Amino acid sequence: MQSIVQTNFTGIDGLIIRNEPRPALTDNGVLIAMETLPVVPSDWHKETDPNATAEQALQLPRVIGIGGVGTVIEVGHNRDQKLLHQRVLVMHPKGSYQEFILNTNSDWLFPLPINVSNAEAATLTAGPGVALALTEFIKQNPSDHLVITGANSVIGLILCQLLGSTYPGLTPIVSPDSQAYFNQSLPGYPVYSIEHLQLFHGRTLIIDIAGSEPLLQQLIAAVPRASIASIALQTSNLNVPFTFVHEDFNHQIYCHLIKTVASHKLWLPIGRIFSFAETKKAQHYAKDHHSRGRVLVNLN
């Protein structure tokens, strides 16, 4: 089988396709033929920086990706036999960009209902979970104004939906190029660009999804009593209270998110879809373009 492997820190173009034997089924394992994989910013960050994420430093070589969607083709003796032929979302932090994954942890496996597409389920990886963590942080840190940078991002659009358009003080910020996309994605939601932001009075919580220090500096100048909760920057030299918010994986949260998507209470932004062989192209596309939904890679 083929897998996409990082062997150095030279960036996207350093990725290689490796051929290796497909994993053998074990009694505690479930073998999945992978179909759809998400392309997320942490992919290309990790490809240049061993300490790009809050977890331990990366060991190379490694198969890239942390999750995806596929169909169960073999089930081990000790696992639920009803999983056979089920479409599943699987978390696989050891590397999901491979044609077959052997899942041995039932907490990391989620059978999918018929009305959740592969693309939607793949988009649930690395995004909605941290958006939920942000809603919890917002609840615990009430403020008069809630500014969201990178509001048109995949996570931003999900967070805005979780909060609702009438959330008190909601001030999503997008770049001028992304304003029309945001309006089309979430009609009726307020949206601003930094140039049109009024001076704020009262406490302002800045939810930072864009991860741009210059943008945060500009915002702080317009907001006298600001604090920042960022999911994109782990530290900051800005002279205001700063918290890095991250997702702690929780099986129940993913079950809840799948149900929320299945019942059409949450819409997930889906972008361009590339083939497995085009993984480098897919990462370049996602990195070099404005965010227009989650970029995906299909294996068939």
In whole angstroms, how close is the CB of 133 to ligand NAP at the nearest point?
A: 7
In the complex with ligand NAP, the residue whose CB is nearer, 152 or 298, is 152
How many amino acids of this chain bind ligand NAP (CB under 6 A)?
27
Annotate 88-111 with b (16+ C-beta within 10 A) or e (fewer): bbbbbeebbbbbbbbbbeeebbbe
> Does 232 participate in binding ligand NAP (rule CB under 6 A)?
yes
103, 123, 153, 298: residue in contact with ligand NAP (rule CB under 6 A): 153
How many Å apart are CA 203 and CA 223, to the nearest integer? 8
Residue 47-86 contact track with ligand NAP, rule CB under 6 A, x = bound: ----------------------------------------
211, 218, 227, 251: residue in contact with ligand NAP (rule CB under 6 A): 211
In the complex with ligand NAP, the residue whose CB is nearer, 154 or 299, is 154
Query: Structure tokens of 98?
Result: 């491979």
In whole angstroms, how close is the CB of 202 to ligand NAP at the nearest point?
A: 24
In the complex with ligand NAP, the residue whose CB is nearer, 26 or 141, is 141
Spatial strand order of the sheet with 2-6 comes to 16-19, 2-6, 62-63
> Does 152 participate in binding ligand NAP (rule CB under 6 A)?
yes
User: DSSP code of 249?
Assistant: P
Please give the angle made by the CA atoms of 72, 76 and 78, to the nearest 5 degrees. 125
On whether the CB atoms of residues 96 and 65 are closer than 8 A, the answer is yes
User: DSSP code of 202?
Assistant: S
Residue 178-207 contact track with ligand NAP, rule CB under 6 A, x = bound: x-----------------------------
In the complex with ligand NAP, the residue whose CB is nearer, 99 or 247, is 247
> Does 231 participate in binding ligand NAP (rule CB under 6 A)?
yes
In whole angstroms, how close is the CB of 181 to ligand NAP at the nearest point?
A: 8
Spatial strand order of the sheet with 203-208 comes to 170-172, 145-149, 203-208, 225-230, 242-244
In whole angstroms, how close is the CB of 232 to ligand NAP at the nearest point?
A: 3
107, 177, 217, 241: residue in contact with ligand NAP (rule CB under 6 A): 177
> Does 127 participate in binding ligand NAP (rule CB under 6 A)?
yes
Q: What is the separation, in whole angstroms, between the first and last Cα of the chain?
A: 13
Choose the stretch contacting ligand NAP; rule: CB under 6 A; options: 86-94, 146-154, 185-193, 272-280.
146-154
**Residue numbers 260-299 binding ligand NAP by CB under 6 A:** 290-291
> Does 40 participate in binding ligand NAP (rule CB under 6 A)?
yes
* Host H or E run for residue 102: strand 100-103
Q: Is 132 helix (H, G, I), strand (E, B) or coil?
A: helix
Residue nearest to ligand NAP (CB): 153
Q: How many residues does the chain have?
A: 300
Distant-in-sequence, close-in-space partners of 2: CB < 8 Å, separation ≥ 6: 17, 18, 19, 98, 99, 276
> Does 175 participate in binding ligand NAP (rule CB under 6 A)?
yes
Query: Structure tokens of 208?
Result: 């930072």
**HSE, side-chain direction, 13 A CA sphere, residue 49:** 10
Question: According to DSSP H, which parts of 19-113 are helical?
Answer: 41-46
Which residues are at the interface with ligand NAP (CB under 6 A)? 40-42, 126-127, 130, 150, 152-156, 174-175, 177-178, 209-212, 215, 231-232, 246-247, 290-291
